[in-house]
């Protein structure tokens, strides 16, 4: 299915709500990648261990040595070091371990979607909620056509 077909068949209409209503309906979400990239002169990263298909996080000793192999990295052979199933879990653990307050992701538009698209968006870790029996998607970007959203293109490739 193409992104345009997804939009034509599963995006029902935009729902216009106030910022207060949006904040009440959608639970806060956070951008852990932004939160963990840099904090007080420290650099954090999440990488995929392709051998086992899991993510782990690591901290560079300093920004100056970021390009050198001299990093404090999670030892993937040591079971005491965290290895996570998703990048989001790795970022979340990094933020918690290092007492970093993540940056909130702001919902900019709200769309009524089909149950099918709701489930696909939920699997992609998008802001979705059932509100008064209606499946809603909280879009975190605006300006571009919806069929050009990265998440819609990713769903089309599945």
Looking at the predicted structure, is the pLDDT value of residue 69 above 50?
Answer: no
Share of the chain above pLDDT 70, in %: 85
Q: What confidence tier does 14 reach under pLDDT thresholds 50, 70, 90? A: very high
Instruction: Note the pLDDT tens digit of each residue in 110-126.
Output: 999 999 999 999 998 89
pTM for the model: 0.66
The predicted structure's pLDDT at residue 64: 53
The predicted structure's pLDDT at residue 29: 82
Nearest to 128 by CA among 137, 119, 116, 139: 137
Per-chain mean pLDDT for the chain: 83
Q: Who has greater pLDDT, 44 or 113?
A: 113
Evaluate the CA torsion angle 19, 103, 100, 28 in order and state its sign: positive
Which spans in the chain are helix H?
3-10, 19-25, 32-37, 87-97, 115-123, 150-157
């Amino acid at each position: 299915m193409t992104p345009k077909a997804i939009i034509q068949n599963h995006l029902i209409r935009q729902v216009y709500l106030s910022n207060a209503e949006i904040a009440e309906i959608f639970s806060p979400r956070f951008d852990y990648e932004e939160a963990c990239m840099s904090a007080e002169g420290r650099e954090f990263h999440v990488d995929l261990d392709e051998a086992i298909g899991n993510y782990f996080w690591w901290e560079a000793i300093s920004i100056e040595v970021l390009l050198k192999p001299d990093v404090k990295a999670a030892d993937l052979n040591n079971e005491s070091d965290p290895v996570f199933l998703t990048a989001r879990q790795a970022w979340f653990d990094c933020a918690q371990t290092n007492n970093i307050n993540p940056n909130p992701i702001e919902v900019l538009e709200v769309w009524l979607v089909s149950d099918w698209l709701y489930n696909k968006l939920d699997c992609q870790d998008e802001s979705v909620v059932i509100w008064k029996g209606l499946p809603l998607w909280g879009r975190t970007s605006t300006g571009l056509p919806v069929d050009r959203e990265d998440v819609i293109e990713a769903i089309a490739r599945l």
